[in-house]
Amino acid sequence: GENVEQHPSTLSVQEGDSAVIKCTYSDSASNYFPWYKQELGKRPQLIIDIRSNVGEKKDQRIAVTLNKTAKHFSLHITETQPEDSAVYFCAATRVDSSYKLIFGSGTRLLVRP
Amino acid sequence: NAGVTQTPKFRVLKTGQSMTLLCAQDMNHEYMYWYRQDPGMGLRLIHYSVGEGTTAKGEVPDGYNVSRLKKQNFLLGLESAAPSQTSVYFCASSGHYYEQYFGPGTRLTVT
């Protein structure tokens, strides 16, 4: 089955700097890769996703890149702000009849003011 | 439109007791999922359902059972709780456009 590895487990950056979180997946048939943000005590919420037919997607300060050959994808946050502090999870799935996601172990991002 | 709701929010059980967690969604979603979240281990899929009357095993199904008798509800049961089942449980649902919407979670402690 699918396995998703996520690095780093913790990341501390200065406000205004960029943050990059990386994930690798094992199932070459996976074709949908979402990123979820979870603030302390809250539920995970989707912030951006990418499908295997594109290599990059941007939404304001966040972007995701996908390298299908190497089976890895990354989340990029530019001009970080204190409210970006949270745990970020990557996930992967093969879009078939279930849409079930396999999650990475999470990255705790701290943005220092 | 409440989205995805979970009942209860908190629960403490003694080893060997049983309980049922209820998940409800009002978005007419076909797919529903139960995850558990433990520190440093992300979200792990317990069971899922692709439609009313269907269920399937996820990554960590042992010790849990589920039922989906109505499209809007997905129940997670623990027949004989163990301390290893202490966790935060999240329910999620999705339609045909991939995004999963999560409920607020249930914090379960088994002593």
- Looking at residue B101, what is its pLDDT? 94
Q: Where are the alpha helices (DSSP H) in B7-86?
A: none
pLDDT in tens, A54-86: 899 999 999 999 999 999 999 999 999 999 999
Q: In sequence order, which residues have a C-beta less than 8 Å from that of residue A52 and are 6 or more positions away?
A: A30, A31, A32, A33, A66, A68
Strands (E), chain B: 4-7, 10-13, 19-25, 31-37, 43-49, 56-57, 64-67, 73-78, 87-94, 101-102, 106-110
CA distance A41 to B9: 12
CA distance B58 to A62: 30
> How many other CB atoms are there within 10 angstroms of residue B104's CB atom?
14
Q: In sequence order, which residues have a C-beta less than 8 Å from that of residue A37 and are 6 or more positions away?
A: A44, A45, A47, A86, A87, A88, A89
- Looking at residue A44, what is its pLDDT? 96
Residues of B with CB under 8 A from a CB of A: 31, 33, 35, 40-45, 48, 50, 56, 58-59, 90, 94, 98-100, 102-105
Residue corresponding to tokens 């999560």: B102
- Looking at residue A113, what is its pLDDT? 93
Strands (E), chain A: 4-7, 10-14, 19-25, 32-38, 45-51, 56-59, 62-67, 72-77, 86-92, 102-103, 107-112
Give strand pairing partners of B11: B108
Cβ of A89 and B33 within 8 Å? no
Whether the per-residue pLDDT at B104 is higher than 90: the answer is: yes
- Looking at residue B40, what is its pLDDT? 76
pLDDT tier, A2 (very low <50, low <70, confident <90, very high otherwise)? confident
Cβ of B42 and A100 within 8 Å? no
- Looking at residue B90, what is its pLDDT? 98
pLDDT tier, B18 (very low <50, low <70, confident <90, very high otherwise)? very high
Q: Which of B43, B98, B104 sits opposite A103 (nearest CB)?
A: B43
Q: Which of A9, A97, A99 sits opposite B94 (nearest CB)?
A: A99
Report CA-CA distances (Å) from B48 to A109, B3, B44.
29, 18, 11
How close does chain B come to A59, measured CA to CA in Å?
A: 16
For the CA atoms of B104, A47, B31, B58, what is the dihedral angle to 10 degrees? Answer: -80
Cβ of A105 and B40 within 8 Å? yes
Residues in chain B with CB shorter than 8 Å from the CB of A103 are 35, 42-44
Whether the per-residue pLDDT at A97 is higher than 70: the answer is: no
For the CA atoms of B26, B31, B37, B41, what is the dihedral angle to 10 degrees? Answer: -150
Q: Is B59 in contact with A102 (CB distance < 8 Å)?
A: yes
Q: Which of A87, A62, A89, A108 is nearest to A6 (CA)?
A: A89
pLDDT tier, B99 (very low <50, low <70, confident <90, very high otherwise)? confident
pLDDT in tens, B46-68: 999 999 999 999 999 999 999 99
pLDDT in tens, A4-43: 999 999 999 999 999 999 999 999 989 999 999 999 999 9
